């Protein structure tokens, strides 16, 4: 049965907290693949590979229905384990959390499942305010992202805004594919505009993957500019000397963040020639 | 309290440590990540820093496709959310769409206040204001302000799930391949997620066993007219 191959994604403490819940006949094998105990003080206490081995696309209908229940239940089981772990390490953890948030960062990243902001930066619940969308875009007329920026800057007073892209971005690739993609068109069009802004440089790159990866970087820089064009950022910086805007790119091959070293002061000055919203 | 620059450098150096740790622990981890994503879950949640989806779900990179916005509002004409849904459901073929609200939500609190938030935020929060107007009496009857905020967060999830269920892409996927839509609430004070029972039923012709499993999680604390958080 396909389910036998499911690799359960679990912190080791699940062995104690939800062993009973998991111990259904078709899951007993999965327990064998649970990783061994690791120190909970390590940067990431969740050992395992990123993917389940199961391919539900090829399953029989009755297996799919089991798989659906299992993937749904798994989340609740893991959540209980996580909450229990946090409580045992710091009984006040959730009391502090419910008292309010005071994050230093706003993270604007891609929806891609492989880039959970908190885990790859080793930050805790309460540290990062997060907006994630297709290809980490910040569009002037998108009230969704613009509301996030306004709230983070004016109300939470974040110190850093990070726009984080990633190499091999599916959204960037989709945007450069000659195809009508329906409701995705108006969103992905913004990436084509970035290409047009840097057409010469990009056209000169012969290797396709290298060209996409460069477009990923240029897209991040362009979205940083869009963040800086907002009234919230310009006004807050004039008054408080923060937030600072950063452009990062995440690489799957090594799991590392690359800082594109955006010169915030310079970009801000350049932008304010035309986009100044500070009334100064 | 660390200085601003300290926290910034911490994030970058912490990433270095994390990457080294992951690669040491499982040399295949990053090569597998690089080969593509096939997440079973699309998570629609709040930007609030206290709701890191992958962490609170106990999951790993590669498991959850994510969109987070102010107060997890699902607005039918929002191109940002629509693009995320389209990409996740049509192209990645996720099996679950989870809309998650949370207690102590700043956006929910703002929608219950009678002051302007400012900038584009008031426009963004309009759907939540409409939820408030439609439930004004029931909300007014809740004395405890935190319980009232939690209740409107739950009503917001209910409204959001309705918008999701009216989305063509989602409707087709529900009909054709049993996509499931769930509405849940994250309780920041306990770290627990509760299934609110909105959305689709367990898919794929699940029998009695499926309902049982489902029932185990469906602690509908906030349902009905009594909205006290202590009702559990």
pLDDT at B135 over 80: yes
Among A53, A68, A89, give the residue marking a domain's end.
Answer: A89
Pair A142, A236 in one domain: yes
CB-based contact (8 Å) between A220 and chain B?
no
The ipTM of this complex is 0.77
Angstrom CA distances, B8 to A97, A162, A168, A201, stand at: 21, 10, 25, 31
Residues contacting A95, CB < 8 A, separation 6+: B189
CB-based contact (8 Å) between B49 and chain A?
yes
Do the domain assignments include residue A96?
Answer: no
Do the domain assignments include residue A280?
Answer: no
Q: How many domains does chain A have?
A: 2
Q: What is the CATH number of domain B39-231?
A: 3.40.1050.10
Pair A66, A154 in one domain: no
pLDDT at B59 over 90: no
Instruction: Provide the residue range defining the domain that includes A269.
Output: 101-275
Beta carbons of A147 and B119 less than 8 Å apart: yes
CATH number of the domain enclosing A129: 3.40.1050.10
Query: What CA–CA distance (Å, rounded) separates A121 from B8?
Result: 10
Residues of chain A contacting residue B191, judged by C-beta atoms under 8 Å apart: 79, 82-83, 86-87, 93-94, 97
pLDDT digits (tens, 9 = 90+) for A52-71: 456 767 788 778 888 877 87
Q: In the prediction, which pLDDT does B5 show? A: 67
Among A55, A89, A123, give the residue marking a domain's end.
Answer: A89
Pair A127, A246 in one domain: yes
CB-based contact (8 Å) between B153 and chain A?
no
Annotated binding site of B: 46, 48, 102, 105
* Contact (Cβ atoms closer than 8 angstroms) between residue A264 and residue A244: yes
Pair A155, A269 in one domain: yes
* Contact (Cβ atoms closer than 8 angstroms) between residue A25 and residue A1: no
Among A44, A63, A89, give the residue marking a domain's end.
Answer: A89
CB-based contact (8 Å) between B210 and chain A?
yes
| Active-site amino acid positions of A | 110, 112, 114, 166, 169
Report the residue of chain B nearest A242, measured CA to CA.
Answer: B4
B51 assigned to active site: no
Mean pLDDT for B197-206 is 61
Q: Dmax of chain B from CA atoms?
A: 58
pLDDT at B206 over 70: no
* Residue among B51, B67, B102, B148 flagged as catalytic: B102
Per-residue pLDDT tens listing for chain A (280 residues): 333 333 333 333 232 223 233 323 333 333 223 222 223 333 333 434 444 456 767 788 778 888 877 877 877 788 888 888 888 888 888 888 887 888 999 999 999 999 999 888 888 888 999 999 999 999 999 999 999 999 999 999 999 999 999 999 999 999 889 999 999 999 999 999 999 999 999 999 999 999 999 999 999 999 999 999 999 999 999 999 999 999 999 998 888 999 999 999 999 999 999 999 998 6
CB-based contact (8 Å) between A264 and chain B?
no
Beta carbons of A125 and B69 less than 8 Å apart: no
Q: Which stretch of DSSP H or E encloses residue A227?
A: helix A208-228
Residues of chain A contacting residue B60, judged by C-beta atoms under 8 Å apart: 9, 46, 48-50, 119
Q: In the prediction, which pLDDT does A53 show? A: 54
Q: In the prediction, which pLDDT does B144 show? A: 96
CB-based contact (8 Å) between B123 and chain A?
yes
Query: Which of B21, B49, B180 to probe the A interface (max A CBs under 10 A)?
Result: B49
Do the domain assignments include residue A199?
Answer: yes
* Residue among B51, B100, B105, B194 flagged as catalytic: B105
Q: In the prediction, which pLDDT does B16 show? A: 87
- Domain residue ranges of chain B, discontinuous segments joined by +: 1-36, 39-231
């Amino acid at each position: 049965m396909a389910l036998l191959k499911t690799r359960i994604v679990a912190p080791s403490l699940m062995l104690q907290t939800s062993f009973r819940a998991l111990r259904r006949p078709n899951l007993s094998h999965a327990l064998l693949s649970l990783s061994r105990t690791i120190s909970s003080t390590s940067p990431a206490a969740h050992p395992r590979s990123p993917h389940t081995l199961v391919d539900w696309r090829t399953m029989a209908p009755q297996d799919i229905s089991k798989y659906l229940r299992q993937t749904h239940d798994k989340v609740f089981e893991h959540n209980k384990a996580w909450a229990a772990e946090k409580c045992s390490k710091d009984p006040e953890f959730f009391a502090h959390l419910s008292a309010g948030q005071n994050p230093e960062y706003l993270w604007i990243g891609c929806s891609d499942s492989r880039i959970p902001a908190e885990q790859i930066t080793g930050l805790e619940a309460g540290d990062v305010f997060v907006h994630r969308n297709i290809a980490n875009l910040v569009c002037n007329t998108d009230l969704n992202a613009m509301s996030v920026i306004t709230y983070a800057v004016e109300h939470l007073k974040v110190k850093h805004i990070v726009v984080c892209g990633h190499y091999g971005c599916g959204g960037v690739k989709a945007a450069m594919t000659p195809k009508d993609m329906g409701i995705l068109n108006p969103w992905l069009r913004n990436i084509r505009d970035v290409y047009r802004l840097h057409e010469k440089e990009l056209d000169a790159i012969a290797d396709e993957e290298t060209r996409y990866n460069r477009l990923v970087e240029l897209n991040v820089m362009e979205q940083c500019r869009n963040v800086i064009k907002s009234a919230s950022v310009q006004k807050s910086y004039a008054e408080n000397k923060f937030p600072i805007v950063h452009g990062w790119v995440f690489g799957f091959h090594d799991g590392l963040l690359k800082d594109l070293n955006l010169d915030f002061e310079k970009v801000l000055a350049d932008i304010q020639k035309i986009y100044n919203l500070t009334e100064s | 309290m660390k200085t601003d620059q300290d926290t910034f450098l911490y994030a970058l150096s912490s990433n270095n440590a994390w990457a080294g740790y992951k690669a040491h622990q499982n040399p295949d981890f990053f090569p597998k990540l690089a080969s593509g994503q096939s997440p079973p879950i699309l998570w629609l949640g709040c930007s609030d820093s206290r709701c890191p989806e992958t962490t609170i779900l106990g999951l790993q990179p590669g498991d959850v496709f994510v969109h987070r916005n102010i107060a997890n509002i699902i607005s039918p004409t929002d191109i940002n959310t629509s693009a995320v849904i389209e990409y996740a459901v049509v192209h990645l073929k996720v099996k679950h769409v989870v809309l998650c609200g949370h207690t102590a939500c700043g956006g929910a609190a703002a929608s219950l206040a009678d002051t302007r938030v400012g900038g584009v935020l008031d426009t963004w929060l309009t759907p939540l204001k409409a939820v408030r107007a439609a439930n004004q009496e029931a909300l007014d009857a809740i004395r405890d302000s935190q319980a009232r905020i939690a209740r409107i967060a739950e009503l917001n999830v209910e409204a959001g799930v309705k918008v999701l269920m009216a989305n063509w892409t989602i409707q087709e996927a529900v009909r054709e391949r049993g996509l499931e839509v769930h509405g849940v609430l994250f309780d920041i004070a306990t770290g627990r997620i509760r299934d609110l029972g909105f959305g689709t039923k367990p898919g794929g012709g699940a029998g009695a066993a499926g309902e049982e499993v489902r029932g185990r999680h469906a602690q509908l604390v906030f349902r009905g007219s009594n909205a006290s958080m202590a009702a559990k």
